[in-house]
Structure 1
Amino acid sequence: MSERSERTIGLSTSPTSALEPWPETVEWRPVSRDLIWVELIGLASFMIFVFAGLAILWALTGHWIFGLALAAAAVMTAWRVTVIFRAVKAWGYAERDNDLLVRHGLLVRRLSIVPYARMQFVDVTAGPLERSFGLATVQLHTAAAASDAKIPGLPPDEASRLRDRLTALGEDRAEGL
């Protein structure tokens, strides 16, 4: 078996570094870029109240601290918008023979590896904003709450396919335990 084919099925001949949480040997599937709009609208709906509250307080009191807080909120909002664009691009998942890999994060990169045999159930959810953009979130649940993983920003057809596949693989793998 060649080194490339060994890496493709996850049997790397050389150990990978813990500082490289995104294995290059895995074919990552990205989430929908429409998730950016969902996140931006969620941020905007929250920040409207923050800006309105600070502006009213500044107008009523005339104190400079509220003007400074308003400027700081504007800077933080601009920073968060930048982070949203990059963070959505960092989400990805990969289906392997025995487990599902989910990656996300910018500053702190997180790679969750969920063995199919350890999955207890799989949820597919879609809030009103997600539904308006044709998106859904797949949530994987295991016995250990800390190992739960989610994949947001999937088209409903892909979310249903993934749910059904993970459920079937989980049942097949759990029979051998």
Structure 2
Amino acid sequence: MGTGTKGETAEPDWVGLPGGLLGLRRLLLVIWTVVLTVATAVPLGLLAGPAWAVCALFWPAVLVWGWVMVGRNWRSWRYAERADDLLISRGVLWREQTVVPYGRMQLVEVTSGPLERRFGLASVQLHTAAAASDARIPGLVPAEAERLRDRLTALGEARSAGL
């Protein structure tokens, strides 16, 4: 058990992801659904007849299911900064919580691919000595990602120096 200090017993202040990531993922889902629907309907309609083209309606059904699942997954992502470590929680069916001690961080990166930049998003990638414990927080606003990077880097340097 802990020593009973407030920092160890209090519930952390969780921060969820902004809505831009949800919008990006749903847009990609719609684009892929349209492509797969057309790629299924056209060949089936031309080669097997129009009645078989109805099989392409499978993909819009996947879209409806995927729309709900993407939303649930997005809501499951959250992070919390504590005194000695960073918590990252994610997952709907299988919940996963990663604890990254500030003193173990070796590198904190902010990355943003072309689609992320288009939606005004960035990701924070945390690297530790153990490759299996690397962690990532996707879909942040770039200013928040940079603030988090700077804070985690400063805390990591202070903890590794023994301050």
Same fold (TM over 0.5): yes
- Over 3 Å counting, the alpha-carbon distance change for 1:165 and 1:66 in structure 2 is same
Shift of 1:7: 7.2
| Pairwise CA RMSD | 2.1
Aligned pair count reads 159
8 Å contact from structure 2 (residues 37, 57) kept in 1: no
Once residues 5 and 63 of structure 2 are traced to their aligned partners in structure 1, the CA distance between those partners, rounded to angstroms, is: 42
8 Å contact from structure 2 (residues 45, 52) kept in 1: no
Shift of 1:129: 2.1
> Which residues of structure 2 form unaligned runs of 5+?
none
8 Å contact from structure 2 (residues 102, 156) kept in 1: yes
Report the secondary structure of 1:87's partner residue.
helix
Report the secondary structure of 2:106's partner residue.
strand
| Equivalences for residues 159-174 of structure 1 within 5 A | 159-174=145-160
1:36 aligned onto 2:57: no
TM (norm. structure 2) is 0.87
The code of the aligned residue for 1:9 comes to: G
Shift of 1:119: 1.1
Q: Which residue of 2 aligns with 1:10?
A: 8
8 Å contact from structure 2 (residues 42, 53) kept in 1: no
Once residues 57 and 171 of structure 1 are traced to their aligned partners in structure 2, the CA distance between those partners, rounded to angstroms, is: 59
Instruction: Say which is worse superposed, 34-43 or 157-166, in terms of deviation.
Output: 34-43
The code of the aligned residue for 1:59 comes to: G
Q: Which residue of 2 aligns with 1:78?
A: 64
TM (norm. structure 1) is 0.80
